[in-house]
Each structure stands twice: as C-alpha cells, then as structure tokens.
Amino acid sequence: MYGRELADVYEAIYRSRGKDWGEEAEDVSRLVAERRPGADSLLDVACGTGAHLSVFAARFATAEGLEIAEPMRRLAEQRLPGTTVHAGDMRDFSLGRRYSAVTCMFCAIGYLGTVADMRAAIASMAAHLEPGGVLVVEPWWFPENFIEGYVAGDLAREEHRTIARISHTTRKGRATRMEVRFTVGDAAGIQQFTEIDVLTLFTKEEYVSAFTDAGCSVEFLEEGPTGRGLFVGVRAAD
C-alpha cells in the first residue's frame, strides 16, 4: 500500500476527480487562523506527496510533514526542498517540539486498524500542539454512511500517459476493504498493478472521545473537502 507505483500516479488520478489540494489547504489554513489568530507553525501528519504541505509552507512561518510511506515521503521532499518531512508513524511519534496546528487530511487516519490505534494517533497529534493549538482531522466514512459493494472508476489523461483506476469496496467487520486496479499507458507500453486498501469505520462518537481524552475540545464540520466532514479541536491550556 502506497508503494512506488501508486506514488507515481497518485496526484494525477485524484486531480482527474477534481481534487484541489491547494484549495483544501487554503480552507484549512483559514480554519486554523479563525481559532488561533497568529498561528505560525503547522505539522501535516500523513502528508503524502506534500500537495497540502506546499500550501501550508506558504501560509505558516514553519510547516513540516510526517509520512510513514517512503515513496510518498521522497516525492514530498523533492517537491519541497528545505522543508522537513519526518519519517514516522502517526500512532507513536515524538518530534521534540509543539506546533500551532496539526493536520491529518484525506482520510489517512482511517488506515489505522483499531480504535486503540486511532486514539493513540489523536493523542500523539494533540501532544504536539501548543496550548490553544488547533487539531484538524479528516475522517474516513462513518459506519452508517458506508455503501456495500461500491464501485468507482476514474480516467486521467496527461500529455505523455493515460491512467485508469477502478475500485470495488466491501465491508469486513469494522473495516472497508477496497481493491483498486490501475492501468497505466505511456510510450513504453501498458502496465497494470493492484492496491488493497483497508480502512476502518470509526464512529463519530469514537473520534469525539479520542479528542476529548487527548485534552482537546472538538467540533464536527459537515461536508469537508471530500464530503466526509472535518473534526476540528483546540487543545486546552496545560
């Protein structure tokens, strides 16, 4: 999951869906500024290829990333020379400093397998916030929103290649299993590969409990960048 082949086509396929990382990052930056005027530092957890982080770096005096998948992290580092992108697991990381804001976007938290994992990640992120700092987490679907057997298809055309993506999602207990098949055609020929994504259906109440137990207030904003909403919390004073 999130290997070299996927990292290479990741942004192209989601751009074909209309995803705008820049607009999303601008919106989140405004949310942070509204709740913490003067916020000057941000950590983007599970920053992927750095598409959000590139905008955060222009909006905050200090912006850093954290990414567990090496192929994605390398692309972020190439995109943002001079910006620190830490290697780390969101469930258990310690960077030795605090930030005005911590973000975790595009449902990355859903890749954690258990409620205990999710709670550990929220606690780790909250521990890196200054008092009054803002935590923004974009969830995966809630159990009541899941559609069994959902099929999606996308086609991205670039100057030198065409990428097709088709996915099929089923539920396995608390988790969604998404089988994703890619076909990539360019001057060298046609290549195919398959990714299996497993994301957990945490409940809204489980997220709220994780925020409050980590010392943060929490509000849930409907819709959000991908229609799944956003959790926004503010860390209490120490």
57 & 173 share domain? no
**Both tokens of residue 186?**
């360019």
| Whole-prediction pTM | 0.97
* pLDDT bucket at 217, cuts 50 / 70 / 90: very high
182 DSSP β-pair partners: 165, 193
Which string of DSSP letters, residue by residue, matches 127-173?
A: HTEEEEEEEEE-----GGG--TTEEEEEEEE-SSEEEEEEEEEEEET
94 & 180 share domain? no
Q: What is the mean pLDDT of the chain?
A: 97
121 & 184 share domain? no
209 & 222 share domain? yes
**Both tokens of residue 236?**
């209490």
Residue 223 has what pLDDT?
A: 87
95 & 189 share domain? no
What whole-number distance in Å separates Cα of residue 122 and Cα of residue 69?
19
Is the pLDDT assigned to residue 238 strictly greater than 80? Answer: no
At 22-68, the pLDDT tens digits run: 999 999 999 999 999 999 999 999 999 999 999 999 999 999 999 99
57 & 105 share domain? yes
Q: Residue 216 in contact with residue 97, Cβ under 8 Å?
A: no
Q: Tell me the CATH number at 156.
A: 2.20.130.10
* pLDDT bucket at 3, cuts 50 / 70 / 90: confident
152 DSSP β-pair partners: 167
At 132-151, the pLDDT tens digits run: 999 999 999 999 999 999 99
Contacts of 55 (CB under 8 A, 6+ apart): 21, 22, 25, 26, 29
148 & 226 share domain? no
Q: Tell me the CATH number at 95.
A: 3.40.50.150
- How many domains does one find in the chain? 2
Residue 1 has what pLDDT?
A: 61
Domain membership of residue 73 as a residue range: 4-142+202-235
DSSP three-state, residue 223: coil
> Vertex 41, ends 37 and 44: CA angle to 5°?
115
